[in-house]
Amino acid sequence: MEPANYTRVTEFVLTGLSQTREVQLVLFVIFLSFYLFILPGNILIICAIRLDPHLTSPMYFLLANLAFLDIWYSSITAPKMFVDFFVERKRISFGGCIAQLFFLHFIGASEMFLLTVMAFDRYAAICRPLHYATIMNRRLCCILVALSWLGGFIHSIIQVAFIVRLPFCEPSELDSYFCDITQVVRIACGNTFPEELVMIFSSGLISVVCFIALLMSYAFLLAMLKKHSGSGESTSRAMSTCYSHITIVVFMFGPSIYIYAHPFDSFSLDKVVSVFHTVIFPLLNPVIYTLRNKEVKTAMRKLVNRYMLCREK
As a whole number of angstroms, the distance between CA 177 and CA 15 comes to: 6
Helix then strand then coil, in percent of the chain rounded to 5, is 75, 5, 20
Q: How many domains are contained in the chain? A: 1
d(CA 303, CA 287): 16
Mean pLDDT over all residues of the chain? 85
CATH code, domain carrying 181? 1.20.1070.10
Comparing C-alpha atoms, which of 305, 310, 300 is closest to residue 49? 300
Residues 6 or more apart whose Cβ sits within 8 Å of residue 125: 59, 132, 136, 238
Q: What are phi and psi of 231, to 5 degrees?
A: -110, 30
Task: Answer whether residue 145 is part of any domain.
Answer: yes
pLDDT digits (tens, 9 = 90+) for 37-60: 888 888 888 998 998 888 889 999
Burial of residue 189, with CB atoms counted within 10 A of its CB: 0-12 exposed, 13-18 middle, 19 or more buried: middle
- Flag whether pLDDT at 1 surpasses 50: no
Residue 2 placed within a domain = no
Q: Confirm whether 4 is domain-assigned.
A: no
- What is the percent of the chain with per-residue pLDDT over 90, rounded to a whole number? 32
Return the pLDDT at 290.
Answer: 76
Confidence of residue 231 (pLDDT cuts 50, 70, 90): low
Running DSSP on this structure, what letter comes out for residue 9? Answer: -
Q: What residues make up the domain containing 274?
A: 11-301
Whether 124 maps to a domain, the answer reads yes
Residues, the chain? 313
Residue 141 lies in a domain: yes
Q: How confident is the model at residue 3 (pLDDT cuts 50, 70, 90)?
A: very low
CA distances from 277 to 28, 113, 238 (A): 17, 16, 27
pLDDT-derived band at 108, boundaries 50, 70, 90: very high
pLDDT tens for residues 207-226?
888 899 999 999 999 888 88
Residue of higher predicted confidence among 144 and 265: 144
pLDDT number for residue 4: 47
Q: Residue 16 — very low, low, confident or very high, per pLDDT cuts 50/70/90?
A: confident
Check whether 170 has a pLDDT greater than 80: no
Question: Which tens digit of pLDDT belongs to each residue from 173-182?
Answer: 888 899 988 8
Residue 77 lies in a domain: yes
Question: By CB neighbour count within 10 A (0-12 exposed, 13-18 middle, 19+ buried), where does 13 fall?
Answer: middle
| Confidence class for position 104, pLDDT limits 50, 70, 90 | very high
Model's pTM, two decimal places?
0.88
Q: Beta strand 173-174 with 90-93: parallel, antiparallel or unpaired? A: unpaired
Q: Where does the pLDDT of residue 229 fall: very low under 50, low under 70, confident under 90, or very high at 90 and above?
A: low
Question: Does residue 169 sit within a domain?
Answer: yes
